[in-house]
Amino acid sequence: MVNLRIPGPIPVNDDILEAMGTPMINHRGAEFKEILYRTTDRLKKVFSTRNDVYIITGSGTSAMEAAVVNTLSPGDKAINATVGVFGNRFGIISERYGVDLVSLEFPFGSDVDLDILRNCLNANPDAKAVMVTHNETSTGVTNNLEAIASVVKKEYDKLILVDGISSVCSLPLETDEWELDVVATASQKGWMLPPGLAFISFSERAWEAHSQSNMPRFYLDMAEYKRYYEIGQPPFTPSVSCMFALDLALQQIIDEGMGSIFERHASIGRYTRDGITKLGLRIFPVSDSIASNTCTAVTVPEGLDGSKLMSKMREDHQVVLAGGQASLNGKIFRLGHMGTTKESDIQEALDALEIVLPEIGFRGT
């Protein structure tokens, strides 16, 4: 069997796949209404929020786009604190919609520096919002979102729009306590689900921003999701199959408890980094303290061919790794460990690496 070790989509357990095979139901009927309300209430528990949470049929990027088009207007200034490819995407989306973007870029492998962020907020007092990625999957770095949110909300009182796509349901995130206005995430990550759904939380302050926003929007207009939610329906035809899967996954998530889920991710993250280091490889983030517990990025040693490494892992050992994106192509590879990843899944990948590395010329450090 293939050991899919990319940072999403993640391997999905059989009971979830079976739930997806449930016969279709009327998405505007009583049965669906029950599923919609039950899953939304449970999503709120995972987001740790009393804010509205909506389910979008779309990938994570749809929820990022929703964050932008529902809170900002063309010409509004926004600061995008980015530490990688997905952070950059938040900037690209907002520029495409005419936002006056201040791109605050940190080197790949590092996290957001709070003093630099403060300087940027001081230099741009008219900025309406700050966008930030909680867990940057392209570099394997987790930002200290609690500290960032404290600066943005308590010190500067700006809107904060969060990409929590590879963090929510895997890493601790407190929507209400940290005053996060919009949090976007997607089903193919820690939720143990196939791709297809995105979830987004929306604070009262976000709703205020929505009432002032004149951004063009249709499919992603949160006002439509709110209006339809009140009658127990989604605004558009949803992925009914994914909703069956979500219903079951959330039952399992609530039964296990968030504390246990966070601890499992912390533990598998440590296990992965320890194993990588023991092989003589280096993790890509500049320090272990910011290394992600959902995705480990590993530096390809000087002189080695990263794509050869990945193809040998895939062809000879059925372990599928992810490469580096954009300027990191060939320079890093990434191993995902979200959802119910077991130590044995990671060990299998580490064992394969131990065989493949010398085959492609690695002589140790």
Which residue's CB is nearer to ligand PMP, number 298 or number 357?
298
Binding to ligand PMP by residue 185, rule CB under 6 A? no
- The answer to whether the beta carbons of residues 206 and 66 sit under 8 Å apart is no
Q: Which of residues 273-332 bind ligand PMP (CB under 6 A)?
A: none
Q: How far apart are CA 135 and CA 132, in angstroms?
A: 9
Binding to ligand PMP by residue 86, rule CB under 6 A? yes
Q: How many residues sit close enough to ligand PMP to count as binding (CB under 6 A)?
A: 12
Q: How far is the CB of 316 from ligand PMP (least distance, A)?
A: 26
Part in contact with ligand PMP (CB under 6 A); list of ranges 59-67, 92-100, 201-209, 282-290: 59-67
Binding to ligand PMP by residue 202, rule CB under 6 A? no
Binding to ligand PMP by residue 54, rule CB under 6 A? no
Q: How far apart are CA 341 and CA 11, in angstroms?
A: 8
- Which residues does 205 contact at the CB level (< 8 Å), separation at least 6? 159, 181
- The answer to whether the beta carbons of residues 78 and 212 sit under 8 Å apart is no
Give the one residue of 133, 142, 201, 213 binding ligand PMP; rule: CB under 6 A.
133
Which residue's CB is nearer to ligand PMP, number 59 or number 277?
59
Which residue's CB is nearer to ligand PMP, number 268 or number 357?
268
Binding to ligand PMP by residue 9, rule CB under 6 A? no
Cβ count near 41 (within 10 Å): 12
Give the one residue of 52, 65, 111, 163 binding ligand PMP; rule: CB under 6 A.
163
Binding to ligand PMP by residue 186, rule CB under 6 A? yes
Q: How far is the CB of 25 from ligand PMP (least distance, A)?
A: 25
Please give the structure tokens belonging to residue 35: 């599923």
CA distances (Å), origin 72, targets 57, 65, 77, 209: 22, 11, 9, 7
CA neighbours closer than 13 Å in the CB half-sphere of residue 251:
11
Q: How far apart are CA 351 and CA 357, in angstroms?
A: 10
By CB under 6 A, name the binding residues for ligand PMP. 8, 59-61, 86, 133, 135, 137, 163, 165-166, 186
